[in-house]
Amino acid sequence: MSATPPKFLGIHATPPKWLRWLLHLIPFVLLIIVYGIASDLRHRENPADKLLPPAAKMYEAMRQAAFEENVRTGKYQLWTDTGASLRRIGIGLGASACCGLLCGLILGLFVGMEQLVLPFLTFVSIIPPLAVLPILFIVFGVDELAKVMLIFIGTFPLITRDIQLTVKRIPREQIIKACTLGASQFSLAWRIVLPQIMPRLIETVRMSMGPAWLFLIAAEAIAATSGLGYRIFLVRRYLAMELIIPYVLWIVLIGAIVDFGLRLILRTRYAWYLQAQE
């Protein structure tokens, strides 16, 4: 008798495709239902409740933010906020990815440089970036530069360290083999090592997105005139949950799109990396 594996329970479970999709959806649907019920209950008790606004109110607040000019500034609030935040996070994370790639490559390949820089880098990476935020504001002013620097300082050591470890994990055999094929130190770095760490860089940047958003929103909360984090902390004063919740969901959506985009690059351009890992 051949046993059929269970669909859901146990270590031998093999859910069919339709069930997988269903399982993925269940927590989201549950959250929406629970929120809906709770919101409804509170509003029956107190029609002016601000804590759990109904979907219609959130939609209305978002519509105003996205498609109506702000009476005071004459701008479309959601888009200026999004643009400002994305610009900061893009410059900050982009700079730390580029510098991290270069530094990690050098540290991983050249032992002398590793000895010189790595202990200091470890020291820097332990500093909680938010603790030096005041210093950044003092040194770089409360403008864009301080926020970008916070994101940079918060993500650069981790990216560098990760790239350095990736370079060190390249088998010694490959390096020696390249030397027997006549590679100079530069061509070794450029043709052998760099292409092999690019996919890892994408993964590291993906993982650094979380911290980057954290630092961005923290910096915007303290001193800014636009940005998603600024807006959330601003409207908190009026308990404007109908705007805060959609803004948070909007941030999640942006993060998910960027993450998907990076994964897509990995899948299409670095197929060898994903398959060679197995």
Whichever of 4 and 268 has its CB closer to another protein, that residue is 268
Least distance in angstroms from the C-beta of 105 to another protein = 15
Least distance in angstroms from the C-beta of 195 to another protein = 5
Tell me the Ramachandran region of residue 49: left when phi exceeds 0, alpha when psi lies from -120 to 50, beta otherwise: beta
Least distance in angstroms from the C-beta of 267 to another protein = 14
Side-chain-facing half-sphere of 120: CA atoms under 13 Å: 7
Whichever of 122 and 184 has its CB closer to another protein, that residue is 184
Task: Measure CA 115 to chain center.
Answer: 30
Least distance in angstroms from the C-beta of 111 to another protein = 14
Residue 107's nearest CA partner among 184, 60, 162, 53 is 162
Whichever of 63 and 191 has its CB closer to another protein, that residue is 191
Cα–Cα distance, 169 to 179 (Å, whole number): 18
Least distance in angstroms from the C-beta of 66 to another protein = 43
Least distance in angstroms from the C-beta of 103 to another protein = 21
Tracing tokens 């090592």 back to the chain, one arrives at: 193
Cα–Cα distance, 141 to 145 (Å, whole number): 7
Mind giving me the DSSP string for 167-208? Answer: HHHS-HHHHHHHHHTT--HHHIIIIIIHHHHHHHHHHHHHHH
End-to-end CA distance of the chain: 33
Residues forming the site for another protein (CB under 8 A): 171-174, 176-184, 187, 191-192, 195-196, 270-273, 275-276
Residue 251's nearest CA partner among 225, 202, 217 is 217
Least distance in angstroms from the C-beta of 221 to another protein = 42
Kindly tell me the number of DSSP H helices and DSSP E strands found in the chain.
12, 0
Whichever of 215 and 273 has its CB closer to another protein, that residue is 273
Whichever of 45 and 173 has its CB closer to another protein, that residue is 173
Least distance in angstroms from the C-beta of 113 to another protein = 18
Kindly state the DSSP code that residue 227 receives in the 8-state scheme.
S
Whichever of 153 and 193 has its CB closer to another protein, that residue is 193
Whichever of 16 and 171 has its CB closer to another protein, that residue is 171
User: With 0-12 CB in 10 A as exposed, 13-18 as middle and 19+ as buried, what is 134?
Assistant: exposed
Residue 273 CB neighbour total at 10 angstroms: 18
What's the Rg (C-alpha) of the chain? 24
Residues paired with residue 69 on neighbouring β-strands, in sequence order:
76
